Structure 1
Amino acid sequence: MKNIITSLLTILLLSPMFASAFEGADPTFKAGFSEKDITPDIGMEQPGNYGKSYHKKFHDQCKVRAVVFDDGKKRVAIVGLDLLFVTRRVVEISRAEIEAACGILGKDIMIGASHSHSSGPIAMSEPGDFDDADPTIKHLATNMSIVSDPGFIQKLQQQIIAAVVEADANRQDAKLAVGVGHEDKVSFNRRMRMKNGLTYTHPGVGNPDMLDYAGPIDPDVGTIGVWDMNDNLLGMVVNFACHATTNPDGISANWIGAMERTLRGVTGNAALPVVFTQGACGDITQVDNKATTANPSAEEWWELVGGRVGAEAYKTMLLAKRGAGKDIPLDSRQKVWTVNRRIPTKEKVKKSWELIKLGPEKAGSVDWIFAKETLLLDAMIKKRPKAEVEVQAIQVGPVAFVSNPAEYFVQFGLDIKKGSRFPFTFIVELANGCVGYVPTEEAMGPNGGGYETRLTSYSNLEVSAGRQIANTGIELANQMTPGKVPSPPAPPAFKQAWGYGNVPPEHK
C-alpha cells in the first residue's frame, strides 16, 4: 500500500495540472548564468571597416555571455556577444536550436552584440547574396570587403546555443536588484555642428569650423545584480551606450573586457559572469572632438572606459535593494516587419562604376570605397529590396529591455526611455540582426550629414525607420506591467533624540 501511495503522489506531483497550480500559488524567481569563448584566431579578418584587415595579436578573450531568468511561469534569456554585430540568420538558427534543446521559446531570447571592433570576422552579406551578380560585384564583395568566416560563424552559433542551454541548467533560486548609475566622462557625441550649417562626424580636435556637439549622450549605467539565497553574487547585467572602439592592441572584447575585469576585481569573484548589452550608441564614442588634451593610448582608453563603467555599475549595485519571488515577473513582446531601403540613383550607380574602374589610387581611396558600397547596395536591392526588422521587449521585474537591430542614434534611445512606463528601461542595440546605422530625421535633414548618413550596403534604411523602431519599442514595453522596485523598509517611529548629541555647545 505504501508503494502505491508513493507512486500516486509521484504521478500527481509530475502532472501538468498540479505543477501549474503549485507554480501559480507561489512562483519562485530563478536565474542562471554562463559564458563561452568566441575568440577569433590570429590571421582572421578584423571587422569594423569597409576593407580588409587581419588580426595579428591577442589582447583579451571574446565571449558569449548569457543569463536565463525564470519566474516559475516563463523563462527569458538575455545574450551578450563580444562581436561587431550579429546577423539575422545567426539569430534565427541559434533561437531554433535553443528552443529545441531546452524549451526556451525563440521569441523570449534576445541576442545582442557589443559592437566590438576588435572581435571575430562577421559580414553583412549572407551566403548566396551575390551568386547571381556581375563578376566585378562578386570580386568587390569577396576580395575587397570583409567576409564572414564559415568556421567562425559555426563556432559562434554553437557557443550561443551552449551558453544559453548551460545558463538554463544553472538556474537556482535568486534575488535580484536593479539600479541606474551615471557616467558622463567617457562617452561623447561624435557628430559636430559646423559653421557651414552641416553636421560632420569626427571633424577633428581643434577644427576652427566646429561649433558644438550635434546631439546628446546617454550617461545611464543600467545595472542588474543577481544573488543566490545566501547572498552570494551569481552574476551581473550591465547596459551602457558607447561604441566599442577603444581597440587595444589585438583581439579583444574591447572596453567591455576592462569593465568585466573591474567588476571581477572589486567583487573579489574572478569568474563573475557579466552580461553586457550595448545601449543606443550609433553616434556615441569615447572620442571627444572638443578635447583640450591629447587622446589617451588605445590601452589607456580600454582601461579608462571599461574601468569607469564597471566602477559605476558596482557603486550602483551596492545601493540597490534586492527582491525575490513573485515580485519579479517576466514577460516579453516582439514585432517583426520589413522596412524599405533607400535606393541609389541611376546616375550615382553609373558614376560608381566609373570610379571602380579607375581604381583607388586614381579615384581616391574614400570615393572608391563608397563607390564600391553603392554597387554592392545596388546588387543587394535586386535580391532584398526590403530589410527585416525585429523590435523586442523583454521584462525582468521592473526592467524593460527594448531591442533594435541598428547602430541606433542615442536620441531615439532617450525617446524610448521617456515613453516607457517602466521604472527602468535598458535599450539594447544591434540585437537580433543588423541593419546598420539608423540616424534621426534631423541627421537626414538639410542641416544633417556625416558618416552615419552615407548610403552604403551596410546603412540604407528609409529615413522614417528610426522613428518606426522607437514607436514600436515604446508600444511593446507599455503592453507589459512593470514589476515592483524593491525598497528598504521605513524607519521605526521616532521615540527620542540620541542622548549623546542633544546638547548645546560646551565651552567649560
Structure 2
Amino acid sequence: MNKQVKFQAAVAEVEITPDFPVTLIGGMPTRSKEVLHPLMSQVLLMKWGNDLTCLITIDNLGLTVELANKLRQTIATQLGITKAEVMLCFSHTHNAPQPTVGALNGERYFSFMEQQISLGVTQALAKLQPSKIGWGLTKSQLGVNRRVDCSVVDDRLGVLKIATLTGKPLVMVLRLTAHPNSLMPLSGVITSDYFHFVRQQLTAHFGCPVMVIQGAAGNVKVRGTDTITGGTLLEAEAAGKEIAEALAKMTINLVEVSEFQLISRELSFTSEVPSVAESQLIAHNAQKECGIDGTGWLAECQRLREAGLKQQVTDREVQFLTLNEGQFCGVADELFCELALLAAEKTTNRLFFLNGYTNGCTGYLPTEREWLKGGYEILYSNLNYFPFHGHVMPFRPETAAQLVEFVVEHKC
C-alpha cells in the first residue's frame, strides 16, 4: 500500500432507546416500564485507500446471528461494501429490548434500531477525515470470576485512540471485560448498565465519543455484585468510576496507520443431541437447581431425535479487525475469559483481544476445565436460550481449544 495514502475515520452516535413498550430480556422476560439510562449505538467508519469498514457498538444483550447479519447487510448495502466489512459489538446489557418475533414490539424495535444505526452511518460518512491512531493498555479491578473455584479474570483495558492529524481526539475505543448485569434486578427498567457511567465519565475526560467493546465476559461479573441477583445503581456507577480512574493518566502516542483490514473466517462447532433419559435428567436438575422450566427444551430435543439427529453443527464466523499492532477478534459466543488470555499469550501480542458478543450473541463457550464442572453457563442456560442460538446442548468440551488455535492460526 502506498505510504502516501492517509487513513480516514469518523464517528457518529445515535440513541436507540424505544419510546414504546418492549420485552426486556436478560433475566426473566419482562415488559419495559421506564428508562433509567438511554441505550446508545456508536458508528465508527474507517477508510484506508479503497478499503472502507464499519465498526458499530450497540447497547443490547445481543441479536441472534440471523438478525445481526440482516443488520450488517443493511449497513453494507448502504456503504457499498460487503457484510464481512461490518463488525457489530454488543454491550450485552441485560436491561435492553428483545428485538425478535414474538416479543412485545420485537420486530418494531429491530426496525427502529436499524433505522437509527443507518442514520448514524450517514452522519459518519459525511465526516470522514485524515486521522492517526494509537493503542494503550492498562489494567483494572473491574471484574471477578463468577464460577465456583475459579479466580481467573481478564483485567486488561485496551484502548484504541483515533485522532485528527493535529491530535484532536475523534473517538476512544475501549475494550473491557465484565458482565453488564449489575442492574438486572431493576425489573422493567431500560438501562445500558455500567457502560452508561463508563461512557459518561470518559467522554467528559477525553472530550470525544467513547465506544465500549465487551471482551470475553461469559464467566466474569462486576466486582461487588451478586452472581445471581446482580447489584445496585451505586455499584454500577462505581464500576464506571473504576474504569475512568484507570484510564485518566494514560498517555497514548499517535502514529500513521501502516496496517489495516477487517476480514472474516469460518469454522464449525459441534454439540450433541441428548437421549430421552439424558434430557429428562437435565431438565429435572435445571428445575431443581436454577428454577428453569425445561418443557420447551424437552420438546425440541424430542423433535431433533425424531428427525434422526444425534448432533448439531453450527457454523461460526470469526472476524479480525487489524489496526497496526492491535487486533480485535470477535465471535458471537459468550466466551470465558481464559480463552482471551490464552489467545493473547499464544499470539505473543498483548494487544490481541479475543471478544465475544460480536455479530450476535449465542450460548456460552467455556474452557474444557469449566465444561466438566457443568452448571448454569455450561448446561442449564441452553434450556432458556436454545431458540435464539439454535443448539440444545453445549458445544463439545474441546471446542474452546479449537477456537483459540483457529484464531492464532488465522491472525494477521
- Same fold by TM-score greater than 0.5: yes
Which residue of 2 is the match for residue 38 of structure 1?
16
Match of 1:228 in 2: 164
Q: Distance in 2 between matches of 1:435 and 1:230?
A: 42
Alpha-carbon offset, residue 84 of structure 1? 0.3
Does residue 404 in structure 1 map to residue 404 in structure 2? no
Aligned residues: 396
Q: CA 1:418–1:350 in structure 2 vs 1: closer, same or farther (change >3 Å)?
A: closer
Matched, 1:182 2:139: yes
| C-alpha deviation, 1:45, in angstroms | 1.2
Aligned AA (1:45): T
CA distance in structure 2 between the partners assigned to 1:191 and 1:274 by the alignment = 30
Amino acid at match of 1:424: L
The residue number in structure 1 matching 2:214 is: 278
Q: What is the aligned partner in structure 2 of residue 192 from structure 1?
A: 148
| Residues 352 and 375, structure 1, Cα contact 8 Å, conserved in 2 | no
SS of alignment partner, residue 65 of structure 1: strand
Tell me the CA shift for residue 375 of structure 1: 3.5
CA distance in 2, matches of 1:351, 1:296: 28
Residue 321 (structure 1) aligns with: 253
Partner AA of 1:121 in structure 2: Q
Deviations 1:280-302 (A, max 9, x none): 111000145899xxx99611111
Pair 377,410 (structure 1): closer, same or farther in 2 beyond 3 Å = farther
CA gap of 1:282–1:364, structure 2 versus 1, over 3 A, is closer
Mapping of residues 278-297 of structure 1, within 5 Å: 278-288=214-224
**Equivalent residue for 2:70?**
93
Structure 2: which amino acid aligns with 1:182? K
Tell me how large the CA RMSD over aligned residues is.
Answer: 3.0
Match of residue 116, structure 1, among 84, 87, 93: 93
| Equivalent residue number for residue 48 of structure 1 | 26
The aligned runs of 1:450-469 (5 Å cut-off) are 450-455=375-380, 456=382, 457=386, 460-469=394-403
Task: Tell me by how many angstroms 1:434 deviates.
Answer: 2.6
Structure 2: distance between partners of 1:365 and 1:299: 28
Post-superposition Cα deviations, 1:279-338, rounded to whole Å, max 9, x if no partner, equal 1111000145899xxx9961111111122213323432xx111112xx432123321233
For residue 343 of structure 1, report the CA deviation from its aligned partner: 1.7
* Shift of residue 454, structure 1, vs aligned partner: 1.3
The 3 A distance-change label for structure 1 pair 404 and 155 is same
**2:23 touches 2:98 (CA, 8 Å); kept in 1?**
yes
Output the CA distance in 1 between the equivalents of 2:225 and 2:191.
Answer: 25
Tell me which of 266, 273, 294 is aligned to 1:343: 273
Distance 1:310 1:328 in 2: 29
1:443-481 deviation per Cα after TM superposition (whole angstroms, max 9, x unaligned): 122xx222111152256322222222222222221xx2x
Letter of the 1:119 partner, please give it: A
Q: Which amino acid aligns with 1:340?
A: T
C-alpha distance 233-370 of structure 1, shift in aligned 2 (>3 A)? same
TM-superposed CA distance for 1:72, in Å, is 1.9
Match of 2:114 in 1: 157
Give 1:264's aligned amino acid.
Answer: T
Q: Report the counterpart of residue 194 of structure 2 in structure 1.
A: 255
Aligned partners of 1:98 and 1:349: how far apart in 2? 41
Corresponding position of 1:202: none
Is 2:130 aligned against 1:173? yes
Displacement of 1:348 in angstroms is 3.9
Structure 1 stretches of 4+ moved >6 Å: none
Match of 1:434 among 353, 361, 366: 361
| Greater mean deviation of Cα atoms: 385-394 or 161-170 | 161-170
TM-score with structure 1 length normalisation?
A: 0.71
Q: 1:424 to 1:349 in 2, by over 3 A?
A: closer
How far 1:432 sits from its partner (Å)?
A: 1.5
CA distance in 2: counterparts of 1:117 and 1:411, whole angstroms: 22
Counterpart Cα distance in 1 of 2:357 and 2:151: 20
Secondary structure of the corresponding residue to residue 444 of structure 1: helix
Distance 1:64 1:378 in 2: 40
Residues 385 and 218 (structure 1), Cα distance of their counterparts in 2 relative to 1, 3 Å cut: same
Deviation at 1:73, TM superposition (A): 3.9
User: Could you tell me the percent identity over the aligned residues?
Assistant: 18
CA 1:380–1:224: 2 relative to 1, 3 Å: farther
How far residue 386 of structure 1 moved from its aligned partner, in angstroms, is: 2.5
Report the alpha carbon displacement of residue 394 of structure 1 after superposing the two structures with TM. Answer: 1.0
In structure 2, the residue matched to 1:239 is 175
| Cα pair 2:198 2:243 within 8 Å, conserved | yes
Gaps of 5+ in 2: none
Q: 1:59 to 1:53 in 2, by over 3 A?
A: same
Structure whose alpha-carbon radius of gyration is higher: 1
**Matches of 2:348 and 2:49 in 1, distance apart?**
24
Q: For 1:464 and 1:79, locate their aligned partners in 2 and report how far apart those are by CA, in whole Å.
A: 31
Where in structure 2 are the equivalents of 1:454-493 lying within 5 Å? 454-455=379-380, 456=382, 457=386, 460-477=394-411, 480=412
1:400/1:158 CA distance change after superposition, 3 Å: same
Aligned pair partner of 1:309 in 226, 243, 246:
243
1:409-441 CA-partner distances (Å, limit 9, x unpaired): 000010111122445112221112332111110
Alpha-carbon displacement from aligned partner over 1:5-64 (angstroms, at most 9, x marks no partner): xxxxxxxxxxxxxxxxxx735110111111222213463111112x43122221111111
Measure how far apart 1:367 and its partner are: 4.8
Q: Which has the higher strand share?
A: 2
**407-416 vs 282-291, greater mean Cα deviation:** 282-291
2-structure distance, mates of 1:178, 1:154: 35
Contact 1:76 1:109 in 2 (8 A): yes
Give 1:63's aligned residue.
40
Counterpart residue identity of residue 278, structure 1: Q
SS at match of 1:369: coil
Distance 1:406 1:26, change over 3 A: same
Distance in 1 separating the partners of 2:361 and 2:303:
18
Distance of 1:122 and 1:377 partners within structure 2: 25
Cα 1:423/1:453, change in 2 over 3 Å = closer
For residue 139 of structure 1, what is the aligned residue in structure 2?
Answer: none
